[in-house]
Chain A
Amino acid sequence: MKVSTNWLRDFVTLAPPITRIADRLTLAGLEVKKVDQIDDLQDTVFEIEITSNRPDWLSHVGVAREISAVEALSLKMPLLDIEAGRTPPAGWKIHIKDAEACPYYTGVLIEGITETRTPEFMVQRLLACGVRSVNLIVDITNYVLLEYGQPLHAFDADLIQGREIQVRKAKPGERLLAINDATIELNPNDLVIADSDYAIALAGVMGGKKTEISDRTRNVFLESAFFDPGRVRRASRNHQLSTDSSYRFERRVDPETVDHGRQRALSLIKQYAKPGRISSPVKAGEKPILRVKQVHIREEEIRDVLGCDIKPNQVASILTKLGCEVKQHAPGSWKVGVPSFRADLERPVDLVEEIARIYGYDAIPETLPARAPVSLTENPRLKLERRLRNLLSGVGLHEAVTFSLISDRGLDEKVDLASAVRIVNPLHHGLHWMRPTLVTGLLDAVQKNVNAGADSVPLFEIANVYSAGEAQKHPREERMLGIMLYGKRAAPNWIDHSREASLFDVKGIVETILGGASEGGWKLQKIHKSYLTPSTAREFVVGAERLAFLGAVSPEVCARWDLKGSAYYAEISLDKVAGKAGNVVKKFREWPRYPAVARDLSLTVKDEVPCEALIKEICELGGGLIRSVSLFDLFRGKRIPAGYKNLAFRMVYQSLERTLVSEEVQKLHDRIADTLVRKYQAAFQQ
């Protein structure tokens, strides 16, 4: 809202410099965003921003009252014409048919307007506040709205049918041509002002074209009312119509200014429009009253909340300046009458805030809490996450943050999204789903990078996945680590050549992470994921728990992200891994003191023989003398017949008790080789 400082001077003295007053208001919670000097109008304008609890600041009187409180000055209120007319308007009736939406409605009939020119001071003040002059009557309603915060509406009385005002819900199918020339399709929740025939205004929001004030208007029906904030807000939102009027009604206007605002308007109309006759007001309903009219506050409460003492006379004077009626109840104890425009003051703590605000937050001392820290526990999963972030960023992966809300792109609605959480009111692009996997977010990130020319995109993300769970239960959230490798494994340099990332790079990372959580190893099982190539998809099972899965992203899914290369993906449940690893403190293990002997073994076996089976077999045959078996080469092609593969292992022989002699190792090694050849029809070269 724009506030004219010339206008404010009607009510309160403004000691220069004006920017100092702006700063003081800001530091009292009435934020002055901008101070503009308008040379043409010889005025300085404050652009203020109010908080939703202070609709009383949406007027010059309200702002002036705040200045009087922070500057400890007195407030001069404008003169009101206490109801000019004595006779009620002949034959006019007001019916409130929805008292909840409109508890109080008043109107007055003004007949025989002779002047239509708006006085210059009013044009200028309206202009300073960003309001264009229309005609005298409309200008006066706008003027009162900006001065008192009471929205008024003026109808051309001759165009109201049946001398009747109905405040009612809109009828099905009813329409209103509004003064902005738009046709409003009313719905039955809208509150309208109607004459005997049709709606003539959307209550509190906008008037209708039919009864609009024009230069030819001689007789005016002036409305001043209290409309329910929620109803006005809904109407304003539903019809996407926000007006100065709806803005104030939806924040709650002061019920007392329904009368005061009308009276202020009448005194201006009398002075400038020179009407022939003004009726006495017609009123319907009753002014809403505050839920809490008086609040009791004690000195200790102020001290306990703020942590400092504020002098009793200062307490009383601050509250009085803010419009409260303060009565000392006992020493250090007050009964505070709340003014009608402060529905937000209901409890002692609300008053404490008012006192602190005006006293100045900056004047309250700074202290530190007396008690020592209360907890030293660290959540084990968060600890794990910290360790993994260091690990993964250390081995060349970049952490990504992608959106939890996704579309169904790349996912199977019947499989992946079957138990996903669905959003009723998505923002756009069909972002309907709370994601059940991190894969699509990471694919988005890969695509972005590939389009930007990256040839190596190693990413990870730590975030939740969501599932609806059972009916009536709270949806489930599980913390996941997603790993996505695409393109080159690393940028090439002048010593090392680069190679393409492989699924086994992903698997190696998963194994490293699970290593700490599964002492006894894990089982690899085939798994089906709609977005992974079936032959490559595996899950890691420890005990009964599925800790992780991995696979190559299927070519079809890659194509949907325009990816020409292969993408490899793994997802690890950090909730489960942390549950397994817990906070175990690792124990030191002695290593064998006797020398180790390494021997290589190269085997050609059928393609379907799994590597894991061979390693397991080797270890068993080693009878405790094999310390490690590692695969160092895998070869297919040329010298190897189709349907076979060649695997090269390095075995380290070592005893815990003695030094192994060369012949003994050779004997054992030969025996293992023989057995493997027999069992797996393996051919071997050494």
Chain B
Amino acid sequence: MIEIIRRIESEAQEALARAETGEALQSLRVAFLGKKGKFQDLFKDFGAVPADQRKAIGAELNRVKDWLEQAIATAQARLENKGTDAQFDGTLPGVVPQTGSIHVLQQTIDEITSIYGRMGFEVVEGPEIETEFHNFTALNIPLNHPSRDAFDTFYTTQGHLLRSQTSTVQVRVMQSRKPPLRVVAPGRVYRPDTVDASHSFMFHQIEGLMVDDKVTFSDLKGVLHLFLRELFGSAIKLRFRPHFFPFTEPSVEVDIQWGKGWLEVLGAGSVDPNVFEAVGYDKSRVRGFAFGLGVERIAMLRHGITDIRHFYENDIRFLRQFA
């Protein structure tokens, strides 16, 4: 009986190879698997098989029948697909998932804080509504300094002010923690500047602070160089230019080479001993450095944005570009 099964199998193989239309497949199915088909006959004969052979022959019979059913289905599918080839247009646009975007200022903050994060700086925050002490006095800004005027700082009816720099966070962190410290503090700052292409009355800064028993100006240079190379690429050229800030001494502005000229990207310096004194540190035992940078400025440089107002208008055509 095994031989008969095998013969029918090879007959079916030949018939399958010849069947090139749906009708041919259909008659093939009837001829082999139909009610009066060849397998039906085989099953009838199966009744006469001696008991000791039933298992082997039964298995073989089922195997060939299953194979044929599968083979017919596959052939059927292949024939059907032939018909749809012409209809399928692979150039139809993909359905793009509807995604939004993270604001480019936030991406800039994330990128900068993550670089400092890799150098062991923790991200901290402080209030935006501040006291004169935190915004000026503790930062060694004299009482009669112009920046304290209402022309340069927003004041509230309760006698507080809107911080004009994130350096306030330095003061808060030092007041609440002991050295060693390594922190970066991103956030909003406010100055009563008339809004134009390069000014806004609200913008973002990132302040950095490191305090330890031995921290030098050389360390400051090393850290800033590493940071700027990571942010602008290792080919970036920079220069350290002496400057003045009340809360650092020595103070420095860092310029990067941009086109043919130099562009200032951040201000920094060794923490002024008066600042340590104001927060209650022993100024003879600690040293530190601080730096501050404008997030908008960095983002404008990196992305070639020429008008600061784009950041706050939130036009989706703008936002989407940085998705």
Closest CB in chain B relative to A152 CB, distance in Å = 24
Given known A27-B241, A434-B156, contact A305–B270 (CB-CB < 8 A): yes
A452 within 8 A of B: yes
Complex Cα distance A389/B319, Å?
14
Decide: A477 and B314 in contact? CB cutoff 8 A.
Answer: no
Cβ < 8 Å to A, chain B residues 293-312: 311-312
Closest CB in chain B relative to A103 CB, distance in Å = 15
Chain B residue numbers with a CB within 8 Å of A477 are: 127-129
Chain A residue numbers with a CB within 8 Å of B242 are: 27-29, 353, 356-357, 361
Q: Which of A373, A394, A402 contacts B100 (CB 8 A)?
A: A394
Which applies to chain B's interface (DSSP): helix, strand, loop or mixed?
mixed
Decide: B244 and A52 in contact? CB cutoff 8 A.
Answer: yes
Decide: A399 and B101 in contact? CB cutoff 8 A.
Answer: yes
Stretch at the interface among B16-24, B52-60, B68-76, B213-221: B213-221
A91 within 8 A of B: no
Complex Cα distance A374/B201, Å?
35
Instruction: Render A431-458 as a binary contact track against B, CB cut-off 8 A, 1 for contact.
Output: 1001000000000010011001010011
Instruction: Render A233-245 as a binary contact track against B, CB cut-off 8 A, 1 for contact.
Output: 1000100000000
Decide: A421 and B156 in contact? CB cutoff 8 A.
Answer: yes
Closest CB in chain A relative to B95 CB, distance in Å = 5
Stretch at the interface among A1-9, A344-352, A535-543, A622-630: A344-352
Decide: B320 and A398 in contact? CB cutoff 8 A.
Answer: yes
Given known A53-B244, A424-B157, contact A496–B95 (CB-CB < 8 A): yes
Given known A423-B156, A425-B150, A477-B129, contact A51–B243 (CB-CB < 8 A): yes
Cβ < 8 Å to A, chain B residues 158-199: 158, 160, 162, 180-182, 188, 190, 192-194
Decide: A374 and B128 in contact? CB cutoff 8 A.
Answer: no
Identity of the chain A residue whose Cβ is nearest the Cβ of B96 in the assembled complex: A493
Decide: B312 and A404 in contact? CB cutoff 8 A.
Answer: no
Closest CB in chain A relative to B90 CB, distance in Å = 14
Chain B residue numbers with a CB within 8 Å of A375 are: 120, 122, 182
A590 within 8 A of B: no
Stretch at the interface among A164-172, A204-212, A377-385, A670-678: A377-385
Chain A residue numbers with a CB within 8 Å of B194 are: 427-428
Chain A residue numbers with a CB within 8 Å of B180 are: 371, 374
Instruction: Render A401-438 as a binary contact track against B, CB cut-off 8 A, 1 for contact.
Output: 11111000000000000000111111110010010000
Closest CB in chain B relative to A157 CB, distance in Å = 34
Given known A362-B240, A389-B106, A401-B105, contact A449–B216 (CB-CB < 8 A): no
Chain B residue numbers with a CB within 8 Å of A330 are: none
Complex Cα distance A53/B247, Å?
12
Which bracket fits the contact residues of A?
35 or more
Identity of the chain B residue whose Cβ is nearest the Cβ of A452 in the assembled complex: B315
Decide: B144 and A445 in contact? CB cutoff 8 A.
Answer: no
Chain B residue numbers with a CB within 8 Å of A401 are: 103, 105-106, 311-312, 314
Q: Which of B105, B154, B216 contacts A367 (CB 8 A)?
A: B216
Which bracket fits the contact residues of B?
35 or more
Chain A residue numbers with a CB within 8 Å of B323 are: 393
Cβ < 8 Å to A, chain B residues 246-271: 249-252, 270
Instruction: Render A386-397 as a binary contact track against B, CB cut-off 8 A, 1 for contact.
Output: 100110111111
Residue from A304, A366, A401, A421 with most neighbouring chain B CB atoms (10 Å): A401
Closest CB in chain A relative to B106 CB, distance in Å = 6
Complex Cα distance A424/B156, Å?
5
B222 within 8 A of A: yes
Decide: B157 and A399 in contact? CB cutoff 8 A.
Answer: no
Complex Cα distance A394/B214, Å?
45
Identity of the chain B residue whose Cβ is nearest the Cβ of A357 in the assembled complex: B242
Decide: B250 and A356 in contact? CB cutoff 8 A.
Answer: yes
Q: Which of A26, A457, A460 contacts B316 (CB 8 A)?
A: A457
Decide: A398 and B101 in contact? CB cutoff 8 A.
Answer: yes
Decide: B120 and A373 in contact? CB cutoff 8 A.
Answer: yes
Complex Cα distance A307/B108, Å?
31
Identity of the chain B residue whose Cβ is nearest the Cβ of A446 in the assembled complex: B314
Residue from B119, B217, B219, B241 with most neighbouring chain A CB atoms (10 Å): B217
Identity of the chain A residue whose Cβ is nearest the Cβ of B121 in the assembled complex: A373
Decide: A422 and B157 in contact? CB cutoff 8 A.
Answer: yes
Identity of the chain A residue whose Cβ is nearest the Cβ of B252 in the assembled complex: A361
Chain A residue numbers with a CB within 8 Å of B270 are: 305, 349
Given known A452-B317, A458-B100, A491-B98, contact A367–B219 (CB-CB < 8 A): yes
Chain A residue numbers with a CB within 8 Å of B239 are: 27, 362
Complex Cα distance A466/B162, Å?
11
A365 within 8 A of B: yes
Q: Which of B129, B192, B226, B311 contacts A368 (CB 8 A)?
A: B226
Q: Which of B95, B157, B314 contacts A402 (CB 8 A)?
A: B314
B223 within 8 A of A: yes
Extra contacts, 17 of them, besides A424-B155, A448-B315, A493-B95 (Cβ < 8 A), are A27-B242, A52-B244, A304-B216, A306-B216, A361-B240, A362-B239, A366-B218, A373-B121, A375-B122, A393-B323, A395-B99, A421-B157, A426-B154, A427-B193, A427-B194, A452-B317, A490-B98
22 A–B contact pairs at CB < 8 A?
Answer: A305-B287, A349-B272, A356-B250, A364-B240, A374-B122, A392-B100, A393-B101, A395-B100, A404-B202, A421-B129, A421-B156, A421-B157, A423-B155, A423-B157, A426-B154, A427-B201, A434-B129, A445-B313, A445-B314, A449-B316, A464-B128, A477-B127
User: What are the 4 closest A-B residue pairs judged by CB atoms, nearest first?
Assistant: A373-B120, A307-B216, A29-B242, A307-B218
